[in-house]
């Protein structure tokens, strides 16, 4: 292939990838999360595990624009592809300029290096929370091989709830379950909760990944939440439902409780939808 034809191929690929369904999904999610006030400034991040057959329609999977050290080992994910939001990037800008705000990486064979296939055209790199994301991906894949999305955001009411509610995850979850009938339907497996920890390092990533072995939702006290799902909609919907429940909790916590959803009723919901509530988390 001549250099001219090779250049045309690369140019065409770089243009086409912006129209890829998975890129559009992330762009739409980022816009919605910013619109809802979940991701102020450069807060929040998303990682999306892609299949090779999806990526190779748009990019040379053996190519590499540059290599970026990850600062930790992810050998289990070697050879895997991820669409990731960039560090310091604002969610409000992603849809308008995905090539600068997003990147598609392939985890190198050494498990310690990310090969950039597309994106971060301004010289950027992946979110500082990449260790937490990839560790969570490893946990979720071991629990459910179909889980492909990890989403981190700072929903206002969830954050506020961590200031006024006991951080025991059983009690935290039970308070959320009682707010909306749908909560038991959406997250019968409950919500994991971590105390305040410094973000952007391997320690919080390891703690989150440990929780992700049994929860699809992990709250970071005074910071935000991690959600995992098979699709972008599922991960978004999990966080959306918890945020709505947290808002209702805050609006009613200081008022006399006249009515509530009882544990017996929570079991009726679980049975009615053929779900299994977190073992031992209902007082029956």
- Rounded Cα distance between 15 and 56, Å, is 14
Q: Give pLDDT, residue 272.
A: 97
Lowest mean pLDDT among 28-32, 42-46, 49-53, 199-203: 199-203
Cβ(84)–Cβ(103) below 8 Å? yes
Domain boundaries, given as residue ranges, for the chain: 3-127, 152-272
- Rounded Cα distance between 148 and 135, Å, is 13
Q: Give pLDDT, residue 136.
A: 96
Counting residues of the chain whose pLDDT is more than 90, the rounded percentage is 91
CA atoms within 13 A on the CB side of 238: 27
**Do the domains 3-127 and 152-272 sit in the same CATH topology, yes or no?**
yes
Query: How large is the average pLDDT for residues 40-65?
Result: 95
Q: How confident is the model at residue 3 (pLDDT cuts 50, 70, 90)?
A: very low
Query: How large is the average pLDDT for residues 9-37?
Result: 84
pTM: 0.91
Which sign, positive or negative, has the C-alpha torsion 8, 11, 15, 18? Answer: positive
Phi, psi (degrees; rounded to nearest 5) at 99? -70, -25
| Token pair 């973000």 in the structure block, residue | 199
Q: Which residues have C-beta within 8 Å of that of residue 279, sequence separation ≥ 6?
A: none
Q: Which residues have C-beta within 8 Å of that of residue 145, sequence separation ≥ 6?
A: none
The DSSP secondary-structure symbol of 51 reads -
Active site residue 247: no
- 40 has pLDDT over 60: yes
Q: How confident is the model at residue 46 (pLDDT cuts 50, 70, 90)?
A: very high
Class of domain 3-127 (CATH, top level): alpha beta
Cβ(230)–Cβ(141) below 8 Å? no
Q: Which residues have C-beta within 8 Å of that of residue 160, sequence separation ≥ 6?
A: 246, 250
The CATH code of the domain at 152-272 is 3.40.225.10
- 11 has pLDDT over 70: no
Nearest to 48 by CA among 155, 158, 162, 126: 126
Cβ(65)–Cβ(117) below 8 Å? yes
- 13 has pLDDT over 50: no
Q: Give pLDDT, residue 72.
A: 86
Q: How confident is the model at residue 56 (pLDDT cuts 50, 70, 90)?
A: very high
Query: How large is the average pLDDT for residues 158-187?
Result: 97
- Rounded Cα distance between 119 and 251, Å, is 42
Catalytic residue, from 52, 54, 67, 129: name it.
Answer: 129
pLDDT digits (tens, 9 = 90+) for 221-279: 999 999 999 999 999 999 999 999 999 999 999 999 999 999 999 999 999 999 999 99
Q: Give pLDDT, residue 117.
A: 97
Nearest to 233 by CA among 32, 19, 43: 32
């Amino acid at each position: 292939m001549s250099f001219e034809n090779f250049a045309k191929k690369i140019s065409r690929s770089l243009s086409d990838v912006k129209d890829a369904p998975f890129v559009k999904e992330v762009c739409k999610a980022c816009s919605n999360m910013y619109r809802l006030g979940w991701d102020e400034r450069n807060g929040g991040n998303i990682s999306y595990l892609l299949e090779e057959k999806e990526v190779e329609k748009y990019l040379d999977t053996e190519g590499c624009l540059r290599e970026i050290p990850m600062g930790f080992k992810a050998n289990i994910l070697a050879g895997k592809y991820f669409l990731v939001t960039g560090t310091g990037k604002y969610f409000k800008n992603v849809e308008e300029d995905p090539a600068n705000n997003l990147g598609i990486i392939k985890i190198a064979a050494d498990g310690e290096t990310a090969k950039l296939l597309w994106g971060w055209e301004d010289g950027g790199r992946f979110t500082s929370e990449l260790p937490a994301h990839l560790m969570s991906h490893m946990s979720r894949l071991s629990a459910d091989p179909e889980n492909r999305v990890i989403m981190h955001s700072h929903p206002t009411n969830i954050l506020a709830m961590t200031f006024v509610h006991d951080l025991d995850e059983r009690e935290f979850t039970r308070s959320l379950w009682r707010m909306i009938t749908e909560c038991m339907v959406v997250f019968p497996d409950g919500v994991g909760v971590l105390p305040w920890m410094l973000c952007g390092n391997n320690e919080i990533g390891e703690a989150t990944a440990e929780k992700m072995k049994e929860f699809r939702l992990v709250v970071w006290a005074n910071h935000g939440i991690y959600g995992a799902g098979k699709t972008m909609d599922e991960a978004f919907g999990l966080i959306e439902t918890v945020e709505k429940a947290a808002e209702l909790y805050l609006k009613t916590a200081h008022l006399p409780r006249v009515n509530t959803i009882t544990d017996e009723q929570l079991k009726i919901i679980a049975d009615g939808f053929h779900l299994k509530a977190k073992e031992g988390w209902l007082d029956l």
